[in-house]
Amino acid sequence: MTGKIITISRQFGSGGRTIGKLTARQLGLECYDSEIIAEIAKKSGFDQNYIKENSEDTAETGLFAALSGLDFYGHSNRDEIWTMQCRVIRELAEKGPCVIVGRCADYVLKEDFDLLKVFIYADMEARARRIVEQYGESDEHPEKRLRDKDKRRAAYYEVYTDQKFGDFENYDLCLCSSSIGIDKCAKIIREVYQM
Amino acid sequence: MTGKIITISRQFGSGGRTIGKLTARQLGLECYDSEIIAEIAKKSGFDQNYIKENSEDTAETGLFAALSGLDFYGHSNRDEIWTMQCRVIRELAEKGPCVIVGRCADYVLKEDFDLLKVFIYADMEARARRIVEQYGESDEHPEKRLRDKDKRRAAYYEVYTDQKFGDFENYDLCLCSSSIGIDKCAKIIREVYQM
């Protein structure tokens, strides 16, 4: 499988980003995550925070979001960011083997690139602990925020990809980081990649 | 994780049973699959084929199945077989570490046993090839039969477990055998088990 691009989709708080970085380092590959946002900002002129708010974990879903900020042709800024994001992801993939975390890269690249598609998830308790301890979020009702984030991420993914977020059929490998551990997840991905 | 019981849920035609047997042999554990049917037959007096037809891939789902063959208390033979199956699975698990393939063992044992819960799936093309080449099934429209089988298995699982079949949250590890390969799937399960 060596030579493929590894895409890592992940539940918020599952440690997917850390696993992606670890895997990339051990394989000597580039890992793209926030770099994608920076590149979209450069290309589009949008502010990085605005891009973050209007991609992946976008706060608004549904009709309101769909209709807000439409241009003359009925495109929203969110659509514009999506188009830009697809272009950036393709450009990065064309440079060669790498690890791409999130941003629907599994869907964007699936027709034209050889992929190892990974999904990382974890149980609610572990995710809540992680966002409080590692991401420095408030310890008031972290589960509620996670459920909300899950909904937004799934909605975004489903609107732009017409696939279901977290549906096993979209991935080669789905790993529960709270059962298996961060390091071991990276090791398994590496092993499958090096087959 | 050593000492746990490995449960392998699997899509029909994904090679999950083969992976289970391979994993068990390499770890020196017993693997229970058709043994469970034989044991239910012994305990219940039902014929093995009748048990197969009324468990897991049961041909009838929905109201008709729910109402057919009810006893005085509103229990169907299918319910009776389910109860027996739960008992057999628990008795096997109590003997110690082992691999159990299918039969909702992940659900049946989850409260009282330490489990490594695995889900094996594969793409439709690979599954169709497998049921024709390895299981000797007819090569006329194998995809149609697989889709039908998927529906039945999911319906059975959902009726008796109130969980969704194939939902990643029910498993520690989900592996696509057509991407990863049968031997490599067994190796990954073994490694996670031996952590």
Looking up residue B159, the CATH number of its domain turns out to be 3.40.50.300
Which chain B residues are within 8 Å of A119, Cβ to Cβ? 168, 174
H-helix or E-strand spanning residue B129:
helix B124-133
Tokens of A78: 């969110």
Tell me the pLDDT tens digit for each residue of A69-109.
555 566 778 888 888 999 999 999 999 999 999 999 999 99
Res B41 pLDDT > 50? yes
Q: Does the residue B42 lie in any domain?
A: yes
Tell me the pLDDT tens digit for each residue of A115-157.
999 999 999 999 999 999 888 888 888 999 999 989 988 888 8
Please state the rounded mean pLDDT for residues B71-85.
Answer: 78
Q: Does the residue A101 lie in any domain?
A: yes
Q: Does the residue B115 lie in any domain?
A: yes
Identify the top-confidence range among A159-163, B66-70, B72-76, B167-171: B167-171
Phi and psi of B185, rounded to 5°?
-60, -45
Q: Does the residue B101 lie in any domain?
A: yes
SS3 content of chain A, % helix, strand, coil (to 5): 55, 10, 35
Provide the ipTM.
0.87
pLDDT above 70: percentage of residues in chain B = 89
Which member of B116, B168, B187 has the closest CB to residue A121? B168
Residues of B with CB under 8 A from a CB of A: 116, 119, 121, 123, 166, 168-169, 171-176, 179-181, 184, 187-188, 191-192, 195
Res B1 pLDDT > 50? no
CA distance linking residue B49 with residue A122, whole number of Å = 39
Q: Does the residue B195 lie in any domain?
A: no
Q: Cβ neighbours of residue A61 under 8 Å, at least 6 residues apart?
A: A151, A152, A155, A156, A159
Query: Three-state SS for B101?
Result: strand
Q: Does the residue B125 lie in any domain?
A: yes
> What is the per-residue pLDDT for B81?
87
The total of structural domains in chain B comes to: 1
Q: Does the residue A72 lie in any domain?
A: yes
Is the distance from CB of B3 to CB of B98 less than 8 angstroms?
A: no
Tell me the pLDDT tens digit for each residue of A37-74.
898 888 888 888 888 887 776 655 555 555 555 555 66
CA distance linking residue B145 with residue B153, whole number of Å = 12
pLDDT above 90: percentage of residues in chain A = 54
Chain A residue closest in CA terms to B174? A174
- Higher pLDDT: A185 or B64? It is A185
Which chain B residues are within 8 Å of A195, Cβ to Cβ? 180-181, 184
Looking at the DSSP assignment, which residues form a beta bridge with residue B101? B8
Q: Does the residue A98 lie in any domain?
A: yes
pLDDT above 90: percentage of residues in chain B = 54
Please state the rounded mean pLDDT for residues A175-184.
Answer: 96
Please state the rounded mean pLDDT for residues B49-59.
Answer: 76
Residue A184: domain span: 5-190
Which chain A residues are within 8 Å of B184, Cβ to Cβ? 191-192, 195
User: What single string gives the DSSP state of each residue in A98-136?
Assistant: EEEESTTHHHHHTTTS-EEEEEEE--HHHHHHHHHHTS-
Burial of B12 (0-12, 13-18, 19+ CB in 10 A): buried
